Amino acid sequence: MSPARDFEWQDRYEAVIGLEVHTHLATESKLFSPAPVRYGDAPNHAVHPIDLALPGVLPMLNDRVIDLAIRFGLAVRGEVNPRSIFARKNYFYPDLPKGYQISQFEDPVIIGGSVQIALEGSEPRTIHLTRAHLEEDAGKSIHDPALAGSDASLVDLNRAGVPLLEIVSEPEMHSSEEAGAYLRALRSILRYIGVSHGDMEKGQFRCDANVSLRRIGTQQLGTRTECKNVNSFANVEAAIDAECVRQAEVLDDGGDVVQATMAFDPATGRTRVLRLKENSDDYRYFPDPDLVPLVIAAERIEAVRRKMPELPDEKHARFQADFALSAHDAGILTGSRELGDFFEAVVVACEAMGTDAATRAKAVSNWVLRDLLRILKERDLELEDAPIEPQALASLICLVDAGRLTVKSAQQIFPDLVCEGGDPVQMMTAQGLEAVSDSGVIEDAVARVIEANPDAVASFREGDQKSINFLMGQVMKRTQGKANPGQVRELLIQKLS
Amino acid sequence: MSDIREALGSLAAARAALDAGSLSAADLVEAALTRAQDHAALQAVVGVRPRHARDEARASDERRAKGERRSLVDGIPMLLKDNMVVAGEATTCGSRILEGFVSPYSAGVVERLQSAGAIVLGRTNMDEFAMGSSTESSCFGAARNPWDPSRTCGGSSGGSAAAVAAGIVPAALGSDTGGSIRQPAGFCGVTGFKPTYGRVSRWGLVAYASSLDQIGPFTRSAADAAALLSVIAGHDPRDSTSLPVPVPDYAAALTGDVSGLTIGMPRECFVEEGVEPGVLESVREGVRELEAAGAKVVEVSLPHSRYAIATYYLIATAEASSNLARFDGVRYGHRAEGATDIDDLYRRSRSEGFGAEVKRRILLGTYVLSAGYYDAYYKRAQQARTLLRRDFDEAFAKCDVLVTPTSPELAFPLGEKNDDPVRMYLSDIYTVTANLVGVPGLSVPCSPAAGMPVGLQLLGRSLEESTLLRVADAFQRRTDHHEKRPPEPV
Amino acid sequence: MSRISRQEVDQIAQLARLSLSDDEAAAMERDLERILEYVAALETLDTEGVEPTAHALQLATPVRPDEACEPMDPELALSNAPEAAGTAFVVPKVIDEEGR
Ligand SMILES: [Mg+2]
Ligand SMILES: [Zn+2]
């Protein structure tokens, strides 16, 4: 890959990118078998005779996937197909025990829909979805010479039959950044609505990228290639960039891009041809005669709609309107469902404790965006795994609000509160951090500071307002930061005027 | 006729002997095992489970001693076609590809039989993967007709038909995809019943063509069929195509009264051309018997029935080509030695494991589903199925039951049709329609022709098994064809 | 006019993972030709506007609740395996890893 060409292909070509995402649905059991959906078991420890395709077994649909599919359809504002059909996709592969995959072909469960993406510095865009359909995952072929010898592979069917939603986008993205933004937005939606855990490391969210180039100024789509099973956001973006460069080189040399399935090698940063698309890919789809059509009544869709959780973009708008947050702050707070829920829970708890309504949301968002996220990042902790309760942060904010705790002391307590949990009142007492509001102690400190700092006193009296801050700092120092700053300020001004 | 031979001759006789205490379940099992051996030349039975059968018989006898009886079939030995799995037992479907396979689970019908106290004695011979009409394509060799061992017993459930005809057991189960219960029942002179599609669970039935397959009983009489069907019928939550409807009391339907019923004779099924002499005359005589019993007879038409065989072979082979993909030598069954790569393993295991007829149907099914042919063949066949269903709806608006010959021929000599697949396929000309439209069908023996049994087929509306059983039972109350027994082996 | 060619027989045999000897392939070509000839009767049928029937059944979609069962004892799951290593099935090396 020559850097010069890498730099310039975009001057001549426009990338056209469509993505196919396979996401595991959040169920207890498999799509057509009651075997548990589990990750990390030893081979064939989570299987049922159905997953082994033993002679005589039959598929029976998992009821929950219907609701999850509907929920996704509503979230992306697609059409829930009232009658979708399970079809067999026939091919031989050792991790495909039946010799066919049960999928949906002509009549998918969700038709259309869209996802909003926003890239920094450009207008938000709508990426349209072609469809989303239900299908079963395959098992795994393990190529480990240590286990199987160099001329054999192992077959583990634990994953065989795990429910998947395959979400197919229209070819509407034009850069790897847009593709990455789409994938993040899609994963966020899936996690928000509880349809998928979307854990990429567990293979719960996998992406195939269809990429083609066309000369700028033309409408004719070029021949596309498909990069299979790229397993992280960064790799998807890198794979698309690498494939665009490769295709540009082929086209620049006067060649034709050949329709093929590509593999991306993260080690080299390059794509290579895995297999040419030939007519041998004859999957002989036909309606699965072991199953009847998936009929979804309008009432069921309505029932799911009534229980729909709020979507990221809805929450984003509401946070701006209800809490007077900036688009930016609201964007971060709604970036994950856990963070947005935590924020709201703290606000609600503050309200119950009677914090001042005007400053409440601002204070909470400051604590969350500034302190909480920093601490989580420093400690490499996920919010879900952090012991802090929303109630505890609310009570900390109330202590500050009531003058019982200075901001400084509160910040001193906060990391422990996040990482170990606990009650701020107890922590404050135990660490002797309660703000001093005993006027005798403060008056004494003020008198000593005035006495010890004649220069600062003089310049204040000459009209230098800043020197009051210096004097205040001195008083705080004397009281180990525990004096109520408002009270100190008031006293100082009173004594000096 | 000895008592024990009498008792193994029908469910009613076996039950009577058990109830009277003249025979125990253990006696029945021993006698059935002995008879299976005596009739070994028929190659009807391909495997028995004597130890388990004896244990189950003892348990049944103990229950009976305490005055308990689980059902009308408690303590009675039965045989299953070798395509229904039994936990801990071999299932081969008559194919080398399942050599060595032992099922870790039991079929829905097996669970029902066992919880009713029936004794699963063993497995019967069949055409490989139920693909055939003569039980000649089995890896165990051809089963033979007890009435004339030089002839076929029909198929694909030929072993079950022959075993009941020969009185090895009072009843057996078969499966019927295009006539595989009814045609061998007709050839062997027993009662064979294919219930409505979805009436009996397919869980644990090794699939041939999923949208057509249905399990049903082989018995001496319609009354026996009613007793056995009430044990095996009913909803199974593991089978998406199992009907979630209650099972009526079939025995209560056997009133002997057919007055007020209308019997339709499809004109297309009574054309002499292509039908062996004597067959139509026997069936017409049977119809006259029903008329004499008070039924009204009308002529009806099934104009699309001439497309039925073509429609059936396209649909059945398409489904089969996919259903049989799982036999790949990876997880169970035959695996070829010395394969160099995975594709080589697949090709060699499957080519060694499957017989010629199975390969032929897999290839045909693969062809009709492949790109470019789907619409011309598979989709067109599904449309023809719709037209055929409309024919039946119209016919059943005019009558309650249809009557036809079961087969256009008598049991033919072994080997006669092996070189001609299309001729073999035409053997199912009267039976495939019931599978395509899902309705129940039953074959009862009518008067023999040329010394061989002839089957009279009754077809009913969906879920109206009771009506079919009532008509068949009324017929059998007036005739004794079903009571005739083939000669004992010398 | 022939309805199926030897080349098509070879193609579908490959799709179905069956290997046929020359004699077998020739016999299959002949048999399939005859069968296709016979089923060609359907071509005369007017199916304009006729809905296909995949099943004789008209059923509401059957489902099971999303409850996980105890998985199979792995030993039982592997009990029929022609070749196993630990609790995995063994096959000849699979080359085309994710190429589907
Ligand atoms: Mg795809
Ligand atoms: Zn997919």
**What's the pLDDT at A3?**
47
d(CA A325, CA A119): 20
Contact list, A92 vs chain C (CB under 8 Å): 17
- Among C80, C94, C95, which would you mutate to test the A interface (most chain A Cβ atoms within 10 Å of its Cβ)? C94
Contact list, B242 vs chain C (CB under 8 Å): 62
Is there a single domain that holds both residue A223 and residue A323?
Answer: no
Q: How close is the nearest chain C Cα to the Cα of B86, in Å?
A: 14
Is residue C20 included in any domain, yes or no?
yes
Is residue C73 included in any domain, yes or no?
no
d(CA B155, CA B161): 9
Nearest CB partner across the interface for C91, out of B330, B334, B385? B330
Ligand 2 center from residue A22 Cα (angstroms): 6
Nearest CB partner across the interface for A289, out of B104, B239, B319? B319
Last residue of a domain, one of A411, A430, A449: A430
Domain that holds residue C36: 6-43
- Helix then strand count (H, E) for chain B reads 16, 11
C-beta atoms of A90 and B369 within 8 A:
yes
d(CA B475, CA B457): 12
* DSSP code of residue A370: I
Q: Which residues of chain B have pLDDT under 50?
A: 1
Q: Are A400 and A407 in contact (CB under 8 A)?
A: yes
**What's the pLDDT at A278?**
66
Last residue of a domain, one of A250, A277, A302: A302
Is there a single domain that holds both residue A345 and residue A446?
Answer: no
Is residue A298 included in any domain, yes or no?
yes
d(CA B167, CA B31): 10
ipTM: 0.97
Of the bound ligands, which one is closest to the alpha carbon of residue A130? 1
Is residue C48 included in any domain, yes or no?
no
The total number of structural domains that make up chain C: 1
Q: How close is the nearest chain C Cα to the Cα of A6, in Å?
A: 27
d(CA A300, CA A448): 75
Q: How close is the nearest chain A Cα to the Cα of C60, in Å?
A: 7
Using the structure block, give the residue that is written with the tokens 């996998």.
Answer: A206
Q: Which residues of B are catalytic?
A: 81, 156, 180
**What's the pLDDT at A59?**
98
CATH number of the domain enclosing C12: 1.10.20
**What's the pLDDT at A361?**
87
The total number of structural domains that make up chain A: 3
**What's the pLDDT at B159?**
98
- The SS3 of residue B214 is strand
Of the bound ligands, which one is closest to the alpha carbon of residue A210? 1
d(CA A245, CA A269): 11
Is residue A307 included in any domain, yes or no?
no
Q: Are B110 and B232 in contact (CB under 8 A)?
A: no
Last residue of a domain, one of A302, A322, A340: A302
Per-residue pLDDT of chain C (100 residues; tens, 9 = 90+): 689 999 999 999 999 999 999 999 999 999 999 999 999 999 999 999 999 998 877 788 999 999 999 999 999 999 999 999 999 999 998 865 544 4
Which residues is A286 bridged to in the sheet?
Answer: A88
Is there a single domain that holds both residue A462 and residue A399?
Answer: no
Is there a single domain that holds both residue A197 and residue A64?
Answer: yes
Is there a single domain that holds both residue A209 and residue A292?
Answer: yes
Structure tokens at A234: 């960064």
B103 lies within 8 A of chain A by CB: yes
Ligand 2 center from residue A230 Cα (angstroms): 14
Q: Which chains touch C (3 or more CB pairs under 8 A)?
A: A, B
Is residue C89 included in any domain, yes or no?
no
Is there a single domain that holds both residue A194 and residue A329?
Answer: no
Is residue C96 included in any domain, yes or no?
no
Is there a single domain that holds both residue A219 and residue A154?
Answer: yes
Using the structure block, give the residue that is written with the tokens 């010629």.
Answer: B356
Ligand 1 center from residue A20 Cα (angstroms): 6
Is there a single domain that holds both residue A171 and residue A293?
Answer: yes
Contact list, C17 vs chain A (CB under 8 Å): 92
Q: Which residues surround ligand 1, an ion (CB under 5 A)?
A: A 20
Nearest CB partner across the interface for B421, out of C11, C17, C31? C31
C12 lies within 8 A of chain A by CB: no
Q: What pTM was computed for the model?
A: 0.90
Domain that holds residue A405: 312-430
Indicate the angle between helix axes A485-496 and A439-452, nearest 10 degrees. Answer: 50
Q: Which residues, numbered 295 to 324 in chain B, qualify as contacts with chain A under a Cβ-Cβ cut-off of 8 Å?
A: 318-319, 321-322, 324
Nearest CB partner across the interface for C100, out of A42, A93, A143? A93
**What's the pLDDT at C56?**
78
Is residue C61 included in any domain, yes or no?
no
User: Largest Cα–Cα distance in chain A?
Assistant: 98
C-beta atoms of B203 and A289 within 8 A:
no
Is residue C69 included in any domain, yes or no?
no
Q: CATH second-level architecture of B2-264+400-483?
A: Alpha-Beta Complex (3.90)
Q: How many CB atoms lie within 10 A of CB A70?
A: 22
Structure tokens at A325: 């947050």
Is there a single domain that holds both residue A120 and residue A158?
Answer: yes
- In B103-180, beta strands by DSSP E: 119-124, 171-176
Instruction: Measure CA B220 to chain center.
Output: 13
Contact list, C27 vs chain B (CB under 8 Å): 356
Q: Are A322 and A348 in contact (CB under 8 A)?
A: no
d(CA B231, CA B250): 10
Contact list, C14 vs chain A (CB under 8 Å): 280
Ligand 1 center from residue A104 Cα (angstroms): 10
Give 3-state DSSP helix, strand, coil % of chain A, rounded to 5. 45, 20, 35
Structure tokens at C34: 């005859």
The H-assigned helical ranges of B86-154 are 108-115
The three state secondary structure string of A188-212 is: HHHHHCCCCCCCCCCCCEEEEEEEE
Q: How close is the nearest chain B Cα to the Cα of C94, in Å?
A: 6
Is there a single domain that holds both residue A210 and residue A293?
Answer: yes
Q: Which residues of chain A have pLDDT under 50?
A: 1-5
C85 lies within 8 A of chain B by CB: no
Is residue C31 included in any domain, yes or no?
yes
Q: Are A113 and A127 in contact (CB under 8 A)?
A: no
Is there a single domain that holds both residue A328 and residue A294?
Answer: no
Structural element, H or E, at residue B444: strand B441-449
Q: How close is the nearest chain C Cα to the Cα of B72, in Å?
A: 30
Q: Which is it for the CA torsion B298, B303, B308, B309, positive or negative?
A: positive
Contact list, C47 vs chain B (CB under 8 Å): 380, 383-384, 387
Q: Are strands A286-287 and A86-90 parallel, antiparallel or unpaired?
A: antiparallel
d(CA A361, CA A365): 6
Residues 6+ apart with CB under 8 A from A410: A396, A399, A400, A424
- Nearest residue of C to residue A36 by CA position? C68
What's the pLDDT tens digit per position in B198-215? 999 999 999 999 999 999
**What's the pLDDT at C58?**
79
Is there a single domain that holds both residue A343 and residue A457?
Answer: no
The H-assigned helical ranges of A253-369 are 298-306, 312-323, 327-333, 337-352, 357-366
Question: What would the DSSP string read from start to end of chain C?
Answer: --SS-HHHHHHHHHHTT----HHHHHHHHHHHHHHHHHHGGGGGS--TTPPP-S-S------EE-S-PPPPPPHHHHTTT-SSEETTEEEEEPP-S-S--
Instruction: Measure CA B26 to chain center.
Output: 27
Residues in chain B: 490
Domain layout of chain B by residue ranges: 2-264+400-483
